[in-house]
């Protein structure tokens, strides 16, 4: 199955966890891997979710915010990261949202 077929068959598209790099690629239309190529091949009606997970400084960086805003304007719904101790040992916002929050967002998109 290629990225075109995956895009046609998807009931929903979610990137979880979404790194700053993947968010930047998606917001700029890059298609250099299966994930980003599939994203570009999605019909405009496919619900799209993105769940960032990264260091607080990366999440709060103006470029990351700009890229996330671009994705929201393109129809993605951001699932906000949670605050806490991050993988790097820092404390702050950037940890992947809890699975129940992600599942609620998925259910909400699929029910509409």
Does residue 107 carry a pLDDT above 80? yes
At residue 4, the pLDDT reads 84
Does residue 100 carry a pLDDT above 90? yes
Using CA of residue 101, residue 89, residue 70, residue 32, what is the dihedral sign?
negative
Tell me the mean pLDDT in the region 45-59.
Answer: 97
Catalytic residue (one of 34, 88, 103, 110): 88
More confident residue, 112 or 38: 38
With cut-offs at 50, 70 and 90, classify the pLDDT of residue 74: very high
CATH number for the domain spanning 14: value is 3.40.50.1950
The DSSP 8-state label assigned to residue 85 in this structure reads E
Which residue range is the domain that position 84 belongs to? Answer: 3-111
Tell me the mean pLDDT in the region 24-49.
Answer: 96
Tell me the mean pLDDT in the region 22-46.
Answer: 96
At residue 6, the pLDDT reads 83
Q: What is the pLDDT of residues 17-32, one digit of tens each?
A: 999 999 999 999 999 9
Q: Is 88 a catalytic residue?
A: yes
State how many domains the chain has.
1
């Amino acid at each position: 199955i290629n990225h075109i077929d995956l895009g046609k068959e998807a009931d929903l598209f979610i990137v979880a966890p979404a790194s700053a790099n993947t968010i930047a690629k998606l917001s700029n239309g890059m298609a250099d891997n299966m994930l980003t190529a599939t994203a570009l091949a999605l019909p405009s009606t496919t619900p799209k979710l993105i769940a960032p997970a990264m260091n607080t400084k990366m999440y709060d960086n103006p470029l990351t915010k700009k890229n996330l805003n671009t994705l929201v304007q393109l129809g993605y719904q951001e699932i906000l990261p949670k605050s806490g101790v991050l993988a790097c040992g820092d404390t702050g916002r950037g940890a992947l949202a809890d699975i129940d929050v992600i599942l609620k967002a998925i259910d909400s998109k699929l029910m509409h």
